[in-house]
Amino acid sequence: MPQEVSKPKYRELSDGLYWTQECLPLGTLSELERFDLERWVEPDEDVHGCQNAYLFSDERNLLFDTLTQPNSEHVVELIDELLDGDDLDYLAISHPEANHAGNTFTILEAYPDATLLVPGEAAGYGSGHSAEHELYHIAAETPADVDQVPNEIRYVEPGDSIDLGTHTVEFEAPLFPDHSFTLWMSERTTNTLFTVDWMGFLHQNSNCVKTASELDRDVAVEQVFRFHALAFPWMRFGDTDAIERAVDDVRERFDPDVIAPAHGMVMTEDLDAYLDRFLEAVTALSREGERSNMESKLEYILRPPEVDQ
Amino acid sequence: MTTKLTDDVHWISSCHPDEEYHMHMSEYLIQGEDGTVLVDSGSSHYRDEIIEEIDRLTDGTGPDVVLLTHSTLPHTENVPAFEAKWGEIKTIAATGRYPEIVGLPNAEARQLNRPVEFAGRPLTCIHPLLTDVTVSQWAYDHESGVLFTAEAFGHYHDPGNCELTTAEIDGGVSADHIDDFYLDKLPFIDYLDREKLGNAFEMLFETLDVTYVAPIHGNPVSGEDIDRYVADVLEALEPPEGA
């Protein structure tokens, strides 16, 4: 099976809000081996990871994240198609990782009047080092001198909002970040919470760019488990009580109608059930970090028989 | 600036200054049986000095392998410049699949949990016990006993301590510098179970004979300092009052 990032697919989630998705074939369950928490994929069925970006087409247009560099040739034509010839006004970057921001300069070059919105404060406690530096040098072809990029670059922080016309987006402090310069985003009219790396899950090749409630089968805890094991390695050592309190915070403070992650399917109904599934997954994941499990794992990993120490 | 950590492991470091303190952006050059392995490529801010040092250490041939601890910046961004200077270099990404989506279209995917020979040198790459993004790995050099890490084991340092290992710093690494680094770089620390993580660190260092922990963003931690250092890390993970 060819291991290639797919060309982006898209759909309109609600009036003027587009979901674009590229898929990463990961092979079949037998290739992925060893997990059996719950059956959710047939033996000959391909499993996909995915990368999402979201586009608001409104009086002012905004793209949240950029898809990845293998689609650099397609991303601008996709934006052009969805905006029907309109200009892009804002490119917002969730965090300066290449899979989220790798086409930044390709897009800025195509839309020189677009304003680049990037996290100006760390997701953690401090301002940290090098936020600007990391973003500016993330593109495949970094401009020789970023000062010469004609686009306005604006640093945004939790609480900053952008009025797009019908929609208003607001940047949010993430409750579950991986990278220290990560911002979530919310949108008021649709009550959508864009959770970036959090709340992603793997999907079957028959289910690309479908909302969670449209999938041809239920989302299994294992799908959620596998994704978070990959994207949030620290959750092995997670304090499940603290994580549950943060999920309660999401329910109470944001109470979203839509959860739109960067690496999973958009959830539009029964969000509490998906949040519960995440908690089940993280509980299972945290068991991996317990002493007995880590002992056998580290022994296996670090004392390979072919090395005589 | 280069410091010899062991007979055949060189620490190449640049310091990124802030208003109060410095942060290392380090690379390590391992002299293998059949060539050299460079761990991380460093920051473009210090590209010229890094290339100059590597050129000097490799007698103008450049590294044979670049092994990345992170597939994010600033760990990766000098790879194209190295290839422009020395020609094509075997580069190992810190991701098991699709190195192209992390901006490394010519890199090879990593292999974890077993020794792989790079330039004749067996190194085992593992999932980090503690890191930020998933596209990261630690590497253990079986011959020297050096464990290369990012982002855990990072810390800031005072001006004047740039070229020292932790054992050479008067009074050791400041716990505040460890604390500040973790707060800045690992934004999820309030969710960590310190006991679980502490146990895992303990098992790691019981299993491996580590001469140095060699972080990308900190002074190398010498073997005799590891226990105290880990205790400081676990202390740093305690949420600050009022958080």
For A30, A222, A224, the CA distances from A39, given in Å and listed in that order, are 12, 8, 13
Pairs of residues, one from chain A and one from chain B, whose beta carbons lie less than 8 Å apart: 178
Closest A-chain CA to B70: A97
CA angle B155–B158–B161, rounded 5-degree value: 90
Q: Is B87 exposed, middle or buried (0-12, 13-18, 19+ CB in 10 A)?
A: exposed
The per-residue pLDDT for range B46-82, each reduced to its tens digit, is 889 999 999 999 999 999 999 999 877 667 778 888 9
- Spatial distance between the Cα atoms of A7 and A22, rounded to a whole number of angstroms: 6
Partner residues linked to A161 by β-bridges: A170
Quick check: helix, strand or coil at residue A37? coil
Structure tokens at B140: 């253990």
Q: Give buried/exposed letters for A262-288 (b at 16+ CB in 10 A, else e).
A: bbbbbbbeebeebbebbbbbbbbbbeb
Per-residue pLDDT at B230 exceeds 60:
yes
Q: What is the ipTM metric for this complex?
A: 0.89
From the list A33, A178, A27, A159, the residue with the least C-alpha distance to A100 is: A178
Check CB contact of B190 with chain A, cutoff 8 Å. yes
Q: A298–B132: do the CB atoms touch at under 8 Å? A: no
Sort out which chain B residues have CB atoms less than 8 A from A179's CB and list them. Answer: 72, 132-133, 187
Chain B residues closer than 8 Å to A174 by CB:
187
According to the model, what pLDDT value does residue A17 have? 98
CB contact under 8 A, A129 and B43: no
Burial status of residue A306 (CB atoms within 10 A of its CB: 0-12, 13-18, 19 or more): exposed
Q: Which residue(s) pair with B224 in the sheet?
A: none
B90: helix, strand or coil: strand
pLDDT single digits (tens) B148-186: 998 889 999 999 999 999 999 998 888 889 988 888 888
Dihedral class, residue B88 (left if φ above 0, else alpha if ψ from -120 to 50, else beta):
beta
User: pLDDT at position A122, please?
Assistant: 53
Distance from the A287 Cα atom to the nearest Cα atom in chain B, whole angstroms: 10
Is residue B215 within 8 A of residue B70, CB to CB? The reply is no
Q: Where on the phi/psi map is residue B7: left (φ > 0), alpha (ψ -120 to 50), or beta?
A: alpha
Give the pLDDT confidence of A246-298 residue by residue, as tens digits.
999 999 999 999 999 999 999 999 999 999 999 999 999 999 888 888 877 77
Report pLDDT digits (tens) over A82-132: 999 999 999 999 988 888 988 988 898 899 999 989 887 655 544 444 444
Structure tokens at B90: 């075997």
Nearest to B32 by CA among B73, B67, B76: B67
Q: State residue A39's pLDDT score.
A: 76
A207: Cβ–Cβ under 8 A, 6 or more apart, which residues? A215, A216, A265
A52: pLDDT strictly greater than 50:
yes
Q: CA nearest A5: which of B101, B133, B102?
A: B101
Q: How many other C-beta atoms can be found within 10 angstroms of the C-beta atom of residue B231? A: 13
Q: How large is the average pLDDT for residues B125-145?
A: 90
Distance (Å) of CA B184 to CA A126, A235, B40, B86:
5, 18, 21, 35
Contact B7, B148 (CB under 8 A): no
pLDDT at A139: 42
Distance CA B11, CA B139 (A): 15
d(CA A142, CA B74): 13
Sorted by sequence, the CB contacts under 8 Å of residue B95 that are 6+ apart come out as B71, B102, B109, B110, B134, B135
AA identity, residue B238: E
Partners of A230 on chain B (C-beta within 8 Å) are: 134
Contacts of A123 in chain B (CB under 8 A): 187
* Contacts with B98 from chain A: Cβ below 8 Å: 3, 5, 24, 70
**Contact: B124, A51; criterion CB under 8 Å:** no
Q: How far is B224 from chain A (nearest CA, A)?
A: 19
User: Are the Cβ atoms of A307 and B124 closer than 8 angstroms?
Assistant: yes
What would the DSSP string read from start to end of A273-305?
HHHHHHHHHHHHHHHTTSHHHHHHHHHHHHS-T
CA angle A283, A287, A291 (to 5 degrees): 150
Distance from CA of A258 to the nearest CA of B (A): 24
Cα–Cα distance for residue pair B12/A269, rounded to 1 Å: 53
* Count of CB atoms situated within 10 Å of the CB of A305: 7
pTM: 0.91
Q: Output the pLDDT for position A37.
A: 57
